[in-house]
Structure formats: structure tokens, C-alpha cells
Amino acid sequence: MNRILSKKIPIARFFFATLFSFGNAAAHAETLTIAVAANVRYAYEELAAEFRKDTGIAVQCVSGSTGKIMSQVKNGAPYDVFISADSEAPEALFTDGFAETKPKVYAYGVLVLWTNKDLDLSKGLSLLVDAKVQKIAIANPKLAPYGRAAMQALASAKLDAAVKSKLVYGESIAQTTQFVDSGAADIGFVAKSVVVAPVMAGKGKWVELPRDSYEPIAQAVVVLKHSAESPSANARKFADYLFTPKARAILAKYGYTLP
């Protein structure tokens, strides 16, 4: 009887060791879903590639306006990390119990005017009242922090009422950029991180708006808590990665200022 048991024990140990090993491999192979504000989309592609190269952890993303992503999270969207275009949305998600960690500012966004038309950008915002400018693209300020910043810049220049009838609203910076790129708008308020992206090289011209004409666009990251099975350890690794020297260099390359 003892001989029979002694033969079975190694087999049992092998079985449980194999099961444990398989479980670890499955956990490591878990793909993180990162919700990315539209202005970060191009920088994210480089960040994700370097993160996977350094850690072996796979990531995929969904992109959209900050307001829309926040709404999706509150309605149960299975996102692991939220790279926001502001700090207010992540803070609200943390306060309401949708996030595991307090938000942390990873970068400050920069607002620019961008056009494909033959317009004199040296005039700054005063250019927008010119008869040559019929349509001005702007991200929906109710959903997108860059849209709110654009409205602040217009108010600062006392031009918000003068150009109100010219404004066309995109759901996000991505759609706003598309309006200008396609010619549907003559000029637009977009993120510097978009116009300096390699994919946009040679497209149009742009000028930064005065930093004191809008509130600082403090962009924060937060680890979300969508379910008990959420791979939070890997999600935290990704969020922390944004603060590494390699990631900070990528963010600086895309025109962000760093905290």
C-alpha cells in the first residue's frame, strides 16, 4: 500500500506544479486594455511597444474623448487603465469607486491652432475673425478637455462671441483633426501631440497658443477596477511605466510638458 502511494505522490506533485505553472503563464499572457484619450493616441503606440518589449505584457487600446471614456467606465466597460486628457475625470472615477489608485499627472498638454489652408498664423487668435476663416474645428468642450481649453483661449482673447457661429464641434481631438485634414474646417484647435506625430509630418502648419490663455491641461493616469478578475498588478506596471525615463522621453517627443 505504501509503495502504491509513493508512486502516486510524484505524479500528483507534477500535476499541481504543471497546473500552477499554466496558471502563471495564463496570467502573464493576459492582455491589458488601455483606454486612451484621443490626444495621446500616437504617443501611446510608441509607449505600448516599448512597454511590451520591456515587460512582455501585451496591451491593446480603445481611444476616444475623455468624457466618453469616463461614461463607458461607469457603465461597466472592461478597461484596465485610463490615460486621460485631464485629471478631473480620473479623480471622479476614483472618488466613485471605479479606480484602484489615485490619479497621477503624467504630462501637461499643449493647445495649438492648425490649418491646411494659406492662412497667416502669425496673427494668432485674431485670425479667426478673418473672412477667409468660415469654419473653426473644436473638440466638444462637454466631452474633451482640449475643447474646454480652446473655449478658455477664445474667452481670454474676447473672441468667443465673435466666432461662435463659425465653430464646428468634433467628438474628440481625433475628429477635430479630421475636420481640418479633410478641409471640412479651415482651421482648428488641436493638441500639439497630434500635429508633431510622425504620421502627420508635412501636413499643414500650426502655432502654439499662449499657455496663459487657458488653464493647464493636466493629464492623469489611473488604474481602473472593472472586476475582481482585473489583472491589477500588470495594470499598475503599465501606469507606473509612464513615469520611467524612457516613457517621459517619448511624451516629451510628442510635445507634452512633463511634471
CATH number for 41: 3.40.190.10
C-alpha grid cell for residue 185?
474646417
Verify that 46 and 86 share a domain, yes or no: yes
What number is the average pLDDT over the span 48-56?
A: 97
Verify that 103 and 23 share a domain, yes or no: yes
Q: Is the pLDDT of residue 244 over 50?
A: yes
**Torsion angle (degrees, nearest 10) of CA 150, 152, 157, 160:** 80
| Sequence letter at residue 239 | A
**Does a structural domain hold residue 64?**
yes
Q: Is the pLDDT of residue 9 over 80?
A: no
The domain tally of the chain equals 2
Domain that holds residue 51: 9-108+217-253
Verify that 99 and 48 share a domain, yes or no: yes
What number is the average pLDDT over the span 112-133?
A: 96
pLDDT in tens, 178-231: 999 999 999 999 999 999 999 998 899 999 999 999 999 999 999 999 655 555
Strand partners, 32: 59
Query: Are the C-beta atoms of 146 and 155 separated by less than 8 Å?
Result: no
Q: What is the pLDDT of residue 231?
A: 59
* Residue found by looking up cell 508635412 in the block: 202
Verify that 101 and 153 share a domain, yes or no: no
Query: Residue 39: which residues within 8 A CB-CB, separation 6 or more?
Result: 85, 109, 146, 173, 191, 193, 194, 219
What number is the average pLDDT over the span 32-39?
A: 96
Verify that 202 and 80 share a domain, yes or no: no
Verify that 118 and 168 share a domain, yes or no: yes
Q: What is the pLDDT of residue 142?
A: 93
Pairing label, strands 167-170, 136-139: parallel
Question: What confidence category does residue 19 fall into, taking pLDDT thresholds of 50, 70 and 90?
Answer: very low
Verify that 184 and 246 share a domain, yes or no: no
